[in-house]
Chains A and B, each alone.
Chain A
Amino acid sequence: MNYLQLLQAAAPEAIVVGAALLVLTIALLTEGRSARAGVSVARRPAAAKDDIPVGTRPMGICAAVAALGLALAAMAVVRLTTHSDLYHGMLVLSPLNSLFKLIVLILAFFTVLLIRGERALPNEGEYLAMVLLATVGLMLLIGSEELLMIFVGLELSGLSLYLLTGFDKTNRASAEAALKYFLFGSTASAFTLFGLSLLYGMGGTTSLGELTVALGAGPLPPLFLLGVVMTLVGFAFKIAAAPFHFWAPDAYQGAPVPSAAFIASASKVAAFVMLGKIVLLGLGSQPGSAAWAGLVAGWKPILAVLAALSILLGNLAALAQKNVRRLLAYSAVAHAGYTLLGLIASGREGFSATLFYTTIYAVTLLGAFGVVAVVRQKTGGEDLFDFAGLRTHSPVYAACMAIFMLSLAGLPPLAGFAGKFYLFLAAVRGTADQGLLWLVVLALFGSLISLYYYLIVLKEIFLGKERTHSHQADFSPPDTVSRSAVVALAAIVLLAGILPSIILDPILAALR
């Protein structure tokens, strides 16, 4: 194993890092005084920058470089060798890992496109660099099957995401969100690290594959349960599962829209891939059971409790929300609950259902945030009443939002329905005698509740009377790039609903 081979195996990550550094350099050289001395200034950008309406700015060179870097990395992923295992699981090349690195890169690409729709971000170059670094963290997370590397990936992506959340220094909500996210996240990371160390202590190895063999299938030592719980705390935080979700509403609401979109989509996908690998691969020998009649201790009952709490809390809290971003945050909690069902079902069917659903969900949420960005740009806010009359302004965005909301609610012929169907089917099939039916019924009734609040958003869009807006309103023409991105995402959601096989078959093939 020489460094050239390592570079070839880690080519996608290297390309993205290179792109990040390049973007930073370009930003330093071109963005003028606010970036001087590398210190960003916490006041409104100077008048010159404000005068250029968002939609008519030429594609920033930084954004172009970032997008190009992501595209190159995606091509590199496709050309990776299919099977390779470096350093006992630190960097594993497998069809599954490559597929999900590709998905994360695509989601990051769309996020970069959405940045265009946001009001002029100060220091756009730094912002893009942070997005790229977060992407690298997520790719490392997906590519690793080894405890320490998992932690490195978690931390790299986490730190980048904290910064991305707090990027808008002129907005108090952004700072508050970042602080909450950071404090919560650091504590969760601490728990995870401690849990991982306990697992290492018991198994004597940090590689997931070897860990499951070392743990064996015998009676469970109490220390094992402690280790598992602590590890899962960190991941529950990452996927925003209740009761570790408290950072989510503020982060989704306060952060700049592209950051929130990125957290909601790419970060979740990577977290679920990783969680799946840990429980199914690393702890596969001690699953326990979450069946209603036959509860057995292991990681399954823990996930079942997390799922049940998330579904209940997420849906009920979302009912009370008046701010659409906060509503999306609580709905994210609920969807984390649904997705966990697939992991509890385990097996190839369950894991593929989880991955399918989280991919679909990420695409949908990215698109929804794209629409939120447009509304925010036009009205200065993103409460329910700000969405009123979107239909008259931009029927295209209204139709896209309808597709996203209905997909989240789980209505055919959209992807969310296919995802939920597969997820619940896997859950019911995965346990003998339909033992997980209690959780599935809970999830279905959660979906029923969720239809109400998604319809409320659509009601405002299609029926609401437009209000006169504050002076912050920006009447520039909609940005073609971000509009195409949102339409493309909506088209993906619709297509994946009518022909789920286009996403499902690659996932199933990768899991063979």
Chain B
Amino acid sequence: MIAWTIYLSFAGAVLVLLLPRAFARWIALAMAVAGFGHALGAFFTQGADFSHFATIVRLPWIPALGINYHLAADGISLTMALVTGLTAVSAVLFSWKVEERPNEFFFWLLLVVGGSYGVFLSADLFLLFVFYELVIIPKYFLIAIWGSTNKEYGAMKLTLYSFFGGTLVFIGILAIGATARTFDLQQLAQFPFSAQLQSWAFPVLFLGFAVLAGIWPLHTWAPTGHVAAPTAGSMLLAGIVMKLGAYGALRVACNLFPLGFQVWSKWIAVLAVIGIVYAAGVALRQGDLKFVIGYSSVSHMGFVLLGLAAANVLGVSGAVLQMFSHGVIGALLFALAGAIYYRTHTRDLDDLSGMGLSRALPFLAFAFVIASAASMGIPGFSGFAAEITILIGAWKSFPLAVWITGVGMVVVAAFTLRALKLTFFGEKVPGVGGDASHLPNERASWPEKLGAGLLIFATLAVGLYPKLLFDRIMPAVELMRFLHR
């Protein structure tokens, strides 16, 4: 059953610390694959009810406070677990060559993965918050020890920002715990919180989660943190961790406080749209490849928030699909950026453009073209399916937002193409990047091909047949309380 995704990840983390170096990456891979397998298995179970939050395990944990160890899953949780599995496997594959202290590296990595599975499968608010906060410190160490540019600053900024978001969430949870004497998400979804409580608790709770989702203007930790992080760190950050925030906003803030949502939804849409356009604009001006991708993550997460703000079945389903889609695409982009950096030791776009990388690194170039296409929202890839659904849903609630987002999408295409061209398709300048013999001709290794292939397959499959995911997401979304009827 799907709870094993959590247990295997944590068990793997402990094992990795205790066993010798050589085993570290294999154990990590094994656990990641096993977790992914479980997620896939649960996803494709015939005849399962994806609409209801079906309990998997429910044990009393802290009876004095009414807290239970309660895991449950519905279509949304399973989708998120699936993207966690995908990203985890490819993150481990792309970290195959980590030389320095690999045991600790995979320890922290598996903790992030396990904590993320935990958030997506939690049906108890306290448990969700435990897993949510649990991933903060592993991120700090991943970035501070194995990161690159400005790693100590980036790590501290990301950690403190995440903890700040967690503090806001904590306040919201305390407000919930004080009024309703239970922490069970299913019971809380039925609880009639007073309108006055909801009016102040909702923005606090939503903002707290949305910080991790990269809501403008509380997004500045994301580009800095992504750039500073090692490849696997960025993949996990963009792929899963940002989705933790969005999931929390959906499952907790919106679902428990529908009245509060109605009061504040317009503002969420405003911030989302600003995020989409602003981040895209900033990405256009960046000189470091990872900064471009980092800001594109913020921009894509803006779509998720817009979908949530739309508050109808299409909008929210699109948002969940975008969480999946961007998880895959963002991970792929960061993975490729990391692979390039590993070989050329630079991420500066101007430097890269003189290296003629499309000849030197053909597989990476191919993968990057696909990733860029997916990121731009070209039909056939999952990004298109998600974004079009969000925009149709948002059109019903905020037509002006759709117009502005349309403009933003042009900017998205612009910065993506710019990054693609400069990275791979620049004119080879003799003398730039050293001469041809110095340029590492390292072809993509098998773990990298496998990891990239997995992600490409995922985005293509969902892009060509979005019904695969929508069949699971939509029934669950229809039961959400905060939708406009």
| Residues of chain A whose beta carbon lies under 8 Å from any beta carbon of chain B | 406, 411-413, 417-418, 421-422, 424-425, 428-429, 434, 437, 440-441, 444-445, 447-448, 451-452, 455, 459, 462-463, 499-501, 504-505, 508
Contact = CB atoms under 8 A, between A and B. Distances in A.
Given A455-B159, A500-B62, A501-B64, A444 B130 contact: no
- Which DSSP category, helix, strand, loop or mixed, fits chain A's interface? helix
Nearest to A456: B156
Interface residues of B, number: 30
11 contacts: A424-B170, A424-B174, A428-B175, A440-B171, A441-B171, A447-B167, A448-B164, A451-B160, A459-B144, A462-B141, A462-B145
Given A437-B171, A463-B145, 8 more contacts: A411-B136, A422-B65, A429-B178, A437-B175, A444-B171, A448-B164, A451-B160, A459-B144
A421 B129 CA distance: 11
B62 A417 contact: no
A211 B61 CA distance: 39
A406 B140 CA distance: 12
B348 interface: no
Nearest to A440: B174
A99 B144 CA distance: 43
A505 B160 contact: no
Interface of B: 61-65, 126, 129-131, 133-134, 136-137, 140-141, 144-145, 152, 156, 159-160, 163-164, 167, 170-171, 174-175, 177-178
B259 to A, nearest CB: 18
Contacts of B131: 412
B62 A501 contact: yes
Contact of A417 (B64, B65, B130, B164): B130
B64 A508 contact: yes
Nearest to A450: B163
7 shortest interchain CB distances as A-B pairs? A412-B130, A428-B178, A428-B174, A429-B178, A444-B167, A412-B133, A425-B177
Contacts of A425: 65, 174, 177-178
A421 B126 contact: yes
Contact of B159 (A412, A440, A451): A451
Contacts of B145: 462-463
Contact of A406 (B137, B167, B178): B137
Contacts of B63: 501
A508 B130 CA distance: 23
Given A425-B174, A455-B159, A504-B64, A445 B133 contact: no
A424 B63 CA distance: 17
Contacts of A504: 62, 64
A452 B156 CA distance: 8
A411 B137 contact: yes
Contacts of A455: 140, 156, 159
Given A425-B65, A425-B178, A500-B62, A411 B156 contact: no
A413 B65 contact: no
Given A411-B133, A424-B170, A452-B160, A434 B175 contact: yes
Contacts of B164: 448
Contacts of A452: 156, 160
A66 B220 CA distance: 56
